[in-house]
Amino acid sequence: MDNAPPYKIILIEDEPQIRRFVCMALKEAGHIAIEAETGVRGLMETSTRRPDLVIIDLGLPDRDGVEVIRDLRSWSNVPILILSARIQESEKVTALDAGADDYLTKPFGVPELLARVRALLRRSLRSEPEASPLVCFSGIEVNLAERRVTRDGTVIHLTTLEYRLLGLLIANAGRVLTHRTLLREVWGPNQTDHIHYLRVYMSNLRRKLERDPNTPQHLVTESGVGYRLVLS
């Protein structure tokens, strides 16, 4: 994303200190930061400004952040990053299932914030129609057009479910996908409680794709929440 144009980012956050801190970090990174103190104001700004990314605090004064996410998702696919002081995994899962793409728990540092922002912006750019059908990472090449996976030029056989799981992760690269989302999309709506299925297939994918399956660099676990594909 070097030499990329400035991206427009809306921050929906009611705490003035956090708002100033985040906006300063975004502006120093070359982005355009637009502030909103409430959920209603944030939705209004999003509908009129057409941002590249929205950052939402879950603890807003007028509406719960999850409600704002659901409302936003009813008419927009803009990437959403959660900021939250809530540390319960169930609350993170609820927000992600509502349509958020990633979360960052308070307190946080500028490097991690900007890394999450870059990852979500990259994902958004990759989703454009002219995106390449080839996805590459650490010697792995996935040809989405031919449904073919190779490592260092050697074809890797994936089962239908393994490829479906990998394809879903690639389509949402950089985004945290919850266990429930992965199970619903890969196995069907009646299998959302069978997390052991997911763990077995993720273990198989890591064995086939990771250099060191015991220390995965790309098929990353988000403890208690789900999984994320990291391409860089």
What's the distance, CA 44 to chain centroid? 23
Domain with CATH 3.40.50.2300 in the chain: 8-126
Domain with CATH 1.10.10.10 in the chain: 134-229
How many angstroms separate the CA atoms of 188 and 27, rounded?
43
How many angstroms separate the CA atoms of 195 and 131, rounded?
32
Class of domain 8-126: alpha beta
The CATH code that applies to domain 134-229 is 1.10.10.10
pLDDT, one tens digit for every residue, the chain (232 residues): 555 668 999 999 999 999 999 999 999 999 999 999 999 999 999 988 889 999 999 999 999 999 999 999 888 889 999 998 877 888 889 999 999 999 999 889 999 999 999 989 987 765 544 456 788 998 999 988 788 999 998 999 999 899 989 988 988 888 899 998 899 888 887 777 788 989 999 999 999 999 999 999 999 999 889 999 998 7
